[in-house]
Structure formats: structure tokens, C-alpha cells
A and B are shown apart, each in its own frame.
Chain A
């Protein structure tokens, strides 16, 4: 597994401090991040691939400073957003997955092969040439995941990947995330997703208030909000 390190990270948007003095070393296979709306989870998650640069402190992925070497870090860290509509760039399913592999110095046969494998794996092979924006919400999130994983990142960060999905698709995405060899970091409000995870971090008003195995951290979080 990779090592993601937050070293004395604080962040302010204008006057508002949204993260305070975060120190974390993330090495576990599956890590969940929970917390109330506006507590700073997304801001924290986005720092891992440089979508947000901390105003204080540093974030590193396997020793690479994210703010200085964002481009390299983004090849190691795949990011799945809540709304897959914003992640889909190309008109058809197959093209969108292949798009991830452009500019990586692969020849077109290799791109085609890897794209086909990814579509097969996510049950999208039958939709390869369909317009991406006509897929169902669940299929779009599968496509987003396929488009991230086709590049074979070391870490997958997902910010509420199942919030827009129904129960069945949530279960499906959950199973896929849980089955990944890659290190997985999931932000979610659906606590049951995290039962089998290795570690759960609870954020409250920009601070880490609990950090333990789910069997300990989740009850603490429930007590906090209950």
C-alpha cells in the first residue's frame, strides 16, 4: 500500500478555517472518512491529489509532495467524484474510458485492449458504443470508476461515490471498491459501507476527532451526532 501523509495541514477559504492542524499517516488498505456536512471531508480528500492545496502544511503521497508534483501524484491517485456527469468527458462509453489513456505513450492497440478489459470488468461491454450521458446513474458511476481504474492507479479516492445511487447500485459500487487491490479512501455518509474497512477517520469542524477501526470509530461518530 502507498503511504499518504498529512503533515500539520490547515486550510482556510478566505476567512473560514475548514481544516485545522491535521496530522495523518494513511497506510491501510481501506480507509473511510466520515463527518457532518461542512466538516471538511471533501477538502481533505481533494488534497490527496492536489485539487485543493493546503494553505499550511504539506501532503505527500509516497514521498511526493502533492502541491509541487501534482502531475505525478495524479498518475498514482485516481479520484471518483459524487456526480459522474461531471467526470464524463467523451460522448461514448468506450471513448471516455480510452480518454484516460491518451497522452500516456501507449499505442492504439494497447489502449483498445485495456479499455475493453476495463469495460468487461465493470459490466459495460454491451454499452461500449452507447452515448455516455444516456446511461443510468449507476452505470455512469461504474463508467467513472472504469475510467479511473483503467489507468491502474495505486490509490483510489472516492468522495461520496454512492450518494446519488439507489440501494442496488450502492451495493454494487461498494462491492467493487471493497474488492480493489488498490488502496481505497472513501468519504461517505452511508456508514454501513465502512463496516469492513480497516480504518475510519471522523472529522468534526475541521479536526480529526476519532481515528480507529470501524467497530470503535463508527459508534463514537454516532454518539457525537446523536
Chain B
């Protein structure tokens, strides 16, 4: 899940956030450009080395990457069918590499640091863009993921408790309604904390 910082003091944890962001972009683009198995294995070797250097517990790393494997379980067979094993393997490898790099970034960078990074980055444009707002938007987006996940879980449980099955709509309506309520309440809490200007 996004937003789960794994505390630590490694070189990767301490690297300046903008440098990390820049390297992440380079890494993700680079992963997309890899064109054969040899290059891919070099990519994975670098990835493993970086994770080892960060000292992030392997379980935490796995939790971040595992959801993508589900996507691959669905997408890879299609690729095999249409484009053959080699292409499918490369596609899966590049995707995995890119996601793992992004995971490494979120695991080693507290959100506050990202906000401060944004602020620094957007400084030249401050006449047009309110960096604080952008930062808040990012923070709230990250915050909302576990919140909506909880709501979905609760609605599913309530459905099961009442023994009702039903359409996707019957799931979507309460989830959307409750999410809107939560959004309202969060807006109010933000105002109470003095962040509404």
C-alpha cells in the first residue's frame, strides 16, 4: 500500500528527495527502454543491490510489489498469446522493475519530505501555483487510499452480514456515499485545523 514509510537511516533514506525523484524518473524510463534479457537481469541486479542498501525489510518490499503480480497474472498470458513468450517476459520484467523502484522511493521517503521537495521544486512558479496546495493534495490522496479501502471492506462485511449478494451498483452506491461523507468530514477537520485559506 502506498504511503507506508519504512523508517531507516540508510544512504537511500538520507539522499535528498529531489535527487531521489530525479533518479526514480530516470530509473523508470530506463526500465522501459531495456530491450533484452541480459539488460533486464542487470536491471534486477541493480534493484536488488538498492533494496539491500536501503535495509528495508524484504517483507515490506514484497507487500508493495505483490499487487502488481496480480496484474501480471492477467496481462502476461494475453501477451504470450498475442506476442509470444519473449515479449511477454520482457514486458513483465520491465513493469516489475519500474514498480519496485517506485516502491523503494515510497518506502524510504516520508510524505512530509516529498511535500517539502515539491515546495522547493515549485518555488520558481509560486506566482501561479500554490505549492502548499499541491503538497496537501498529494498528502490527502495518499491518505484517502487506506480510508476508501476501509470503507469498501466495511460495506462488503455489512453485505455479507445481511446475507445480501447483488450487483456491483449495490456495492458502489454505499461506497461512494460514505466516501463523500468522509470527504466532507475531512474538509471540516482541515478547516478546524486552520488549513482552509
Contacts and interface: CB of A to CB of B under 8 A. Distances in A.
A191 to B, nearest CB: 26
A90 B147 contact: no
B34 interface: no
Given A92-B110, A133-B147, A87 B4 contact: no
Contact of A129 (B7, B132, B191, B197): B7
B47 interface: no
Chain A CB within 10 Å — which of B140, B185, B191, B194 has the most? B194
A90 B143 contact: yes
A26 interface: no
B195 interface: yes
Interface residues of B, number: 28
Contact of B190 (A71, A89, A98): A89
Contact of A100 (B110, B191, B193): B193
Interface in A131-153: 131, 133, 147-148, 151
Contact of A90 (B139, B191, B196, B197): B139
B36 interface: no
B132 A102 contact: yes
Interface in A75-95: 75, 78-79, 81, 83, 85-92, 95
A44 to B, nearest CB: 15
Contact of B188 (A51, A100, A148): A51
B112 A95 contact: yes
B142 interface: yes
A110 B39 CA distance: 48
Interface of B: 3-5, 7, 110-112, 132, 139-140, 142-143, 146-147, 150, 182, 185-186, 188-197
Interface of A: 49-51, 71, 74-75, 78-79, 81, 83, 85-92, 95, 98-100, 102-103, 129, 131, 133, 147-148, 151
10 tightest Cβ-Cβ pairs between the two chains A and B: A86-B185, A79-B192, A91-B3, A87-B189, A129-B7, A133-B146, A74-B194, A95-B112, A91-B111, A86-B186
